[in-house]
Amino acid sequence: MPTELWPPLSVIRNALETGSAVPEDGADEEPGLAVVAMPGATPATGGKPVRMPAMSSLLLPLAELARRREAVALRAFPARWAPGRLVSVVHEGRLLGVLLDRCIHGELWQGWMAAGEADWASAFDVLLEPEDEPFEPMFGVIQAWNVLTLEPSPRLCARVLGEVSATRLAAIRAVHDEWAAHAALSIAPEPGRIALRSVAGGAFPVLSGTPLGPQDPRADYQALYRNAGLQLARALVQPEAEAPRVRPQERPEGGWWGSIRRWFGAEGWVRPAFAVLALCVVIQNVGLLGGRDAAEEDDVRFRAVPTAPVPTRADLLVRWKEGVRMDEADRLLQSISADVVGGPGGNGAWRLRVPEPVDALAVLAASPLVESAGPAQEPP
């Protein structure tokens, strides 16, 4: 028996194709209700349209929906566009969500469509989690397979309704790279199943769905949202403008480190201290998530209570000067073959493991990027 996904595809199609959640000629109708054709309701069978709640109220209990939206309102996000910000835009009566990735040309931004139907998620959709709150719950599923371009414009009526961390944005970029590379995942197609899996060799844990299978209803769902994204892009890009085409980003040079630098926005959009902290989280995740048995083929792990990791041995402690950029610190650490294993502690010190502690300490002490450096005092 096929899995029934919620909301029904007919409701999603109505919201995307008609745009308005309230009938234009229904001034006397109850606000927030939409007239939709349910499955099997065709003129030939005499079926009549059914009144259904608007899309946003189909996704969560109303009390929870109100709580989350109140949290977004209290957060009062600034209006300026920036990587990692979740914005709502209005196009032909449709309210669409976009997670901004990067500015690619002038005022032209690239990002991914954001939706709210978690049941319909594929392996290349990333579900935002409680740690990402507050954000508009209608846009809690980031479609890393649905890339689009847009630019700030009064006609968009754009509002910032959330902001993800540097680590979460890097994880979404990594999932997008998987999609662009047509990565084959050892996960069975199971519509409606959501689980925690790792991407980028275990660097990031993400909540996602499963790959699409034969005659998968999620293919029609993706076609609806892909068409909505194409219509939005065509409406916003002026015909005479020579705008870059939307395409997956090219694989950077430098292997894994090159990918890490791009995922964390080495072009300078991310605040330096925040980016270095996020990089440390990724390096720790590689140790915690990537150490699984190589023979284990199941890439999906359901969430469980985590066990406390054993502290990793460190050779040196380093404190960076204020304003040091991630790429600068990265180059210095690579020059001494250092691994970041912890930090920053209460005193702002980062813990490093190096093959030659004496030589590495001399390099760090002589660097203008370093405030102080010294040997790590490990507990007995």
CB 223 within 8 A of CB 11: no
Q: What is the pLDDT of residue 281?
A: 44
Quote the mean pLDDT of the chain: 75
For residue 132, the surrounding DSSP H or E stretch is none
The candidate with the shortest Cα–Cα distance to 377, out of 309, 315, 310, 333, is 315
Query: Would you tell me how many other CB atoms lie within 10 Å of the CB of residue 249?
Result: 16
The candidate with the shortest Cα–Cα distance to 140, out of 157, 115, 105, is 115
**DSSP annotation of 129:** -
Going through 10-158 in order, the beta strands assigned E by DSSP cover 33-36, 50-53, 85-91, 94-105, 108-115, 125-127, 141-150
Could you report the per-residue pLDDT of 84-108, keeping only the tens digit for each?
Answer: 999 999 888 788 999 999 998 888 8
CB-based burial label for 379 (10 Å; 0-12, 13-18, 19+): exposed
Ranked by mean pLDDT, which of 73-82, 287-296, 300-309 comes out on top?
73-82
Residue 55 has φ and ψ, to the nearest 5°, of: -55, -45
CB 176 within 8 A of CB 144: yes
Could you report the per-residue pLDDT of 305-345, keeping only the tens digit for each?
Answer: 344 444 567 888 888 888 777 778 878 888 888 887 776 66
Cα distance from N-terminal residue to C-terminal residue, the chain: 60
pLDDT for 258 beyond 70: no
User: Rounded CA gap, 194 and 178, in Å?
Assistant: 18
Q: What is the mean pLDDT of residues 30-35?
A: 39
Could you report the per-residue pLDDT of 171-199, keeping only the tens digit for each?
Answer: 999 999 999 999 888 899 999 999 899 88
Q: What is the pLDDT of residue 55?
A: 63
- Cis before residue 211, ω within 30 degrees of 0? no
Q: What is the pLDDT of residue 184?
A: 87
Per-residue pLDDT band at 203 (split at 50, 70, 90): confident
Determine which of 10-19, 301-310, 369-378 has the lowest per-residue pLDDT on average.
301-310
User: Rounded CA gap, 324 and 329, in Å?
Assistant: 7
**DSSP annotation of 105:** E
Per-residue pLDDT band at 4 (split at 50, 70, 90): confident
Q: What is the pLDDT of residue 121?
A: 97
The candidate with the shortest Cα–Cα distance to 101, out of 160, 155, 149, 161, is 149
pTM above 0.75, yes or no: no
Q: Could you write out the DSSP letters of every residue in 302-338?
A: ---PPPPPPPPP-SEEEEEPTT--HHHHHHHHHHTT-
Chain-centre distance of CA 98, in angstroms?
A: 11
- Per DSSP bridges, beta strands 94-105 and 195-199 are unpaired
Q: What is the pLDDT of residue 343?
A: 64
Question: What is the token pair recorded at 343?
Answer: 């930090």
Residue 53 has φ and ψ, to the nearest 5°, of: -60, 155
Per-residue pLDDT band at 349 (split at 50, 70, 90): confident
Q: What is the mean pLDDT of residues 213-227?
A: 95
pLDDT for 32 beyond 60: no
Could you report the per-residue pLDDT of 40-80, keeping only the tens digit for each?
Answer: 333 343 444 444 445 665 667 778 888 888 999 999 999 89
Q: What is the mean pLDDT of residues 114-140?
A: 95
Residue 174 has φ and ψ, to the nearest 5°, of: -65, -40
Site of tokens 């402690």:
317
Site of tokens 């995942």:
185
pLDDT for 123 beyond 90: yes
For residue 249, the surrounding DSSP H or E stretch is none
Residue 43's SS3 state is helix
